[in-house]
Amino acid sequence: MSADPLHRAGTPQRSTTSQPPSGSGATAIEVRRSARRRRTVSAYREGDRTVVLIPARMSEAEEQRWVSVMLDKLAAQESKRLLGDDELAERAERLSAQYFGGRARPKSVRWVTNQNTRWGSCTPSEGSIRLSHRLQGMPEYVVDYVLLHELAHLLVPGHGPRFWRLLEAYPRTERARGYLEGVVAAERLPHVPGARGE
C-alpha cells in the first residue's frame, strides 16, 4: 500500500495526462482528482512527469489555472537550488543550441553581486555574460529568458527588431518579461507599516 493517502484502494479519483506548456521543464503533466481532497492543491515531479493533485469538484478552468500556478511554484523551488557558474555556463550553452542553433558562444557566464539595476549584462567583444544574483530563486523560465537575452546580444548588440526576432523563438519571453516587470513594480511600492504579514 502506498504511503500517499490519495492512492489508497477504494479512493475515487480521476487522472488525466497532458503535454505541458512550452518551457515548463517537464514532458508531461498528470492531473489526479480526488473526492477526498477538499481545498488543497499540491504538485511534485515524478521522473520527467509533473503530477498535480486537485479536488475532484474543480472545474476545467480551475484545473488549468492551478496547473499553471503549481508549475510556476515547482520551477521556483527548483531554481532555489542555486546554480554555480559552471552550471550557468552549461545552461547557456544548452539554450544557445536549442534557440540559436549554437551560434551564441559566450567565453564566460557567471553570477555577480554588483548589478542591482539590471538583470544581466553582456560584453560582446569579450564574450562575457553576467547575471545579477537577484535572479537566484526566481523561476527557471525567468533565468532562462535573461540568459537568452544576453546570449542574443552576442549575435546582435542592440535592441532593434533583429534582436527581438531572435527572442521570439523562446515561448515564454512575454511571461518572463511580465514577471520581471512585476518584481520591479513590487520593489517600488511604498512600505506601509502594519501591512499584513508584519
| Per-residue pLDDT, 75 | 76
pLDDT, average across residues 127-147? 90
SS3 145: helix
Which range, 109-113, 136-140, 149-153, has the best average confidence (pLDDT)?
149-153
* Percentage of the residues of the chain whose pLDDT score is greater than 90: 44
Q: What is the mean pLDDT of the chain?
A: 81
Which range, 46-55, 130-139, 145-154, has the best average confidence (pLDDT)?
145-154
| Per-residue pLDDT, 151 | 96
Helix (H) and strand (E) counts for the chain? 5, 7
> What is the per-residue burial (b if ≥16 Cβ within 10 Å, else e) of 36-68?
ebeeebebeeeeeebbbbbbeebeeeebeebbe
| Per-residue pLDDT, 119 | 94
174: cell is 512575454
Query: Which helix H or strand E contains 181, and what residues bound it?
Result: helix 173-188
| Per-residue pLDDT, 194 | 54
| Per-residue pLDDT, 47 | 67
CA angle (23 as vertex; 63, 181 as ends), nearest 5: 85
pLDDT, average across residues 150-174? 93
| Per-residue pLDDT, 96 | 95
Q: Which of 47-51, 90-94, 138-142, 171-175 has the lowest mean pLDDT?
A: 47-51
Contact 146, 120 (CB under 8 A): yes
* pLDDT classification of 74: cutoffs 50, 70, 90: confident
> Does the model's pTM come out above 0.85?
no
Higher pLDDT, 148 or 84: 148
| Per-residue pLDDT, 46 | 76
pLDDT, average across residues 164-190? 90
150: cell is 544576453
Report the relative pairing of strands 13-18 and 49-55 from DSSP bridges: unpaired
pLDDT, average across residues 40-66? 87
* pLDDT classification of 92: cutoffs 50, 70, 90: very high
